[in-house]
Amino acid sequence: MTKIIGVVQVKGGAGRSTVATNLAASLADKADTVLIDCDVPQATSASWAALRQQQGRLGKLRVATAADHKGLVRIIKQLHMQCDYIILDGPPRMAELTRAILLVSDLCLIPLGSSLAEVWALADLLETLAQAQQRRPEVDARIVWNRYRGQTKMAKDLRVAVNEEIGLAQLNNRLAYRQAYTEVLARGLSVAEWRDKKAKNEFKALLQEIEQILESQQARRDA
């Protein structure tokens, strides 16, 4: 059964495409995967995929774009059951399309950097999430810390504050502030294909955690 993973965040530059492209590349190593770039016309993920195609690295990965929620639903209906995974790279500040991503996804990841500005920007997304949960109470949205500076007091304090005041589940594995993520995005690569072993290992751990969440969801449905 096709698993759909959305990556949403209303703030630009929060790391949606970083998470989406690395997920897509890693999953496509072993399964048929579709990456849908919903941030048109910027289309960072689609541009990354074009570079990847030029290098002959697409493999089991297919790429599409969706400019609005109707286009997204149409593409998903066409591709559903034709692939193992669909990754949705969401747009900034488009509530209707973001809500659609929340509604169709098995799991939604919310990249969040360890800065007050990014935490403040969660307010709009939380409103959209609440609207989606009114229609589909089982919407599963979780924070993934990105560009995380774990050695700083601010990062640690923000993580505690987000947990206490916002209450959204947080993935245990976090992506640190590393140049590797910028480098691979610009080259059509993933950190799994890059020389930074720390980045490679931390994303591998994040992917394993995501796969475990999806497996647990399926087990509950099958019970």
Distance separating alpha carbons of residues 160 and 166, to the nearest angstrom: 10
Question: What pTM did the predictor assign?
Answer: 0.95
Q: What is the mean pLDDT of residues 40-61?
A: 95
Identify the CATH number of the domain in which residue 39 sits.
3.40.50.300
How many separate domains does the chain show? 1
Distance separating alpha carbons of residues 152 and 148, to the nearest angstrom: 9
Please report the pLDDT score of residue 95 as a whole number.
86
- CB of 181 within 8 A of CB of 13? no
- CB of 36 within 8 A of CB of 2? no
CA distances from 206 to 173, 199, 200 (A): 5, 11, 10
Share of the chain above pLDDT 90, in %: 75
Distance separating alpha carbons of residues 21 and 45, to the nearest angstrom: 6
Distance separating alpha carbons of residues 67 and 40, to the nearest angstrom: 6
- Residue whose entry in the numeric block shows the structure tokens 């034709």: 82
Pairing state between β 33-37 and 61-65: parallel
What's the pLDDT tens digit per position in 181-197? 999 999 999 999 999 99
- CB of 185 within 8 A of CB of 48? yes
What's the pLDDT tens digit per position in 88-125? 999 987 889 999 999 999 999 999 988 888 888 888 89
Residue 150 has pLDDT above 80, yes or no: no
Q: Residue 193 sits in which domain range? A: 3-222
